[in-house]
Structure 1
Amino acid sequence: MNRILKGLSIALLLVACTTTKNIVDRPITFNEERKILTLEYLQNRYDLDQETPKIDPKMIVLHWTVIPTFEESFEAFDPATLPNWRSDIKDVSGLNVSSQFMVDRDGTIYQLLPETTMARHVIGLNHCAIGVENVGGTDDLPLTKAQLKSNIWLVRYLKEKYNIDYLIGHYEYTLFENHPLWLEKDDEYRTKKTDPGVDFMQKVRKAVDDLNFKPLPEKISN
């Protein structure tokens, strides 16, 4: 009996920890300039003429920042316009990259933007994707167990809140090139991604298998 009660106590503790996890508000700058740039991005990249930069979330995309600290990662996303160090994408739009969420190395989840406000984090799919950035991701600073747990919790939280169909790693985004959700007009605008790593994605997917996300589209060979 004591063993059963102990098991129940542990189970209840785990449930409590899961359901009371905090999301810390740490908004990046979303001024009039960023709003205009976001609306221009939606129009120019996707042919979406909108009065507000609102999205209908259908997808969660997991990333890594390849920047060692939260503060440095936040500072990279905070300005409305792209800094000079992103010369690979600045000619497409002056809108800075960002995401709706960022997970620090200790597992703290920060919300940078409202979940239904467009962030620039994945080519072709920003109009329907919630981005989750993870601080780190280099060989010296691999993603942590705390980040893994927080990503699993956040995916569950978002799936319960929105009618989300897909969970992907950033490196999988080109699988959607012939999918109805794909809206990027420029066939040449692609960047090669590896984040957040195959192993990390496999672990997250295994932990949320019960959520029944749709399978990813198969790659079409040329």
Structure 2
Amino acid sequence: MFADVPPPAIVQSPIPFKARRKNEMRRYARRHYGIDSFRLEGPKVIVEHITANNSYSATWNTFSADVADPELHELPGTCAHFVIDRDGTIHQLVPLGIMCRHTVGLNYTAIGIEHVGTTDGQVMDDRRQLRASLRLTRWLQSRFGISTENVIGHAESLSSPYHQERVRRLRGQTHGDMSASTMTRYRKLLSK
């Protein structure tokens, strides 16, 4: 189904994800998905995000701090598997076998990719960053057999066929980054 795609250059920049945080992730997964595990097994979705800031280091610091997030007030702290800096550097923060808290309703089956920037347009107009993003996403698609239709923006999370959320108050929760119109363009570029 997918041609072998070589991995792009990836800088290993791990955030602390020791036993305590894994246990927090396990409890989160049990509460939200009915899964008693912190492990990400057989991911089916890739979710593209923007950091809403212009600093890789600020993003790393936010994700490394295992504190309750200001929006939903839950542990573990939010994180993503990858962060792509403005210069196109791809940083891997969390191993692909561990769930990250980046998209309500999809963390159990989704790989999270953050792009340093404040708007969708900024990311899409940054040639180095966009090129790195497409390379990383294509490699992940090849590695896990993820179809292009399941490469989504954070704003599209509720329309994913994989979306499931057991906590009633969060069933309609999403964000506006990487909108459907942005992702239509992104998915066309992925297919080239």
TM-score (norm 2): 0.86
Task: Give the secondary structure class of the aligned counterpart of 1:131.
Answer: strand
**Pairing 1:157–2:139 present:** yes
Aligned equivalents of 1:130 and 1:172: distance in 2? 14
User: Between the two proteins, what is the percent identity of the paired residues?
Assistant: 31
The amino acid across from 1:40 in the alignment is R
Task: Give the secondary structure class of the aligned counterpart of 1:188.
Answer: helix
Aligned equivalents of 2:81 and 2:64: distance in 1? 12
1:130 corresponds in structure 2 to: 111
Deviation at 1:20, TM superposition (A): 7.0
Matches within 5 A, 1:65-80: 65-80=51-66
Superimposed CA distance per residue, residues 33-83 of structure 1 (whole angstroms, 9 cap, x where no aligned partner): 111100001101111123x5233210100000102110001101002222x
**Kindly tell me: are residues 192 and 123 of structure 1, through their superposed partners in 2, closer, same or farther at Cα, counting changes over 3 Å?**
closer
Gaps of 5+ in 2: none
Task: Give the secondary structure class of the aligned counterpart of 2:112.
Answer: strand
1:54 corresponds in structure 2 to: 40
Deviation at 1:199, TM superposition (A): 5.2
Higher relative contact order structure (alpha carbons within 8 Å, sequence separation ≥ 6): 2
Deviation at 1:188, TM superposition (A): 1.9
Aligned equivalents of 1:20 and 1:167: distance in 2? 17
**Kindly tell me: are residues 20 and 127 of structure 1, through their superposed partners in 2, closer, same or farther at Cα, counting changes over 3 Å?**
closer
Aligned equivalents of 1:29 and 1:200: distance in 2? 32
Matches within 5 A, 1:175-190: 175-176=159-160, 179=161, 181-189=162-170, 190=172
Aligned equivalents of 2:82 and 2:191: distance in 1? 22
Equivalent pairs, count: 183
**Pairing 1:24–2:11 present:** yes
Q: Which has the larger radius of gyration?
A: 1
Query: Does structure 2 conserve the Cα–Cα contact (< 8 Å) formed by 1:169 and 1:196?
Result: yes
Aligned equivalents of 1:31 and 1:204: distance in 2? 34
Aligned equivalents of 1:54 and 1:207: distance in 2? 27
Matches within 5 A, 1:188-207: 188-189=169-170, 190-198=172-180, 200-207=182-189
Matches within 5 A, 1:36-47: 36-47=23-34
Deviation at 1:197, TM superposition (A): 4.0
The amino acid across from 2:154 in the alignment is H
TM-score (norm 1): 0.75
Aligned equivalents of 2:24 and 2:6: distance in 1? 36
1:116 corresponds in structure 2 to: 97
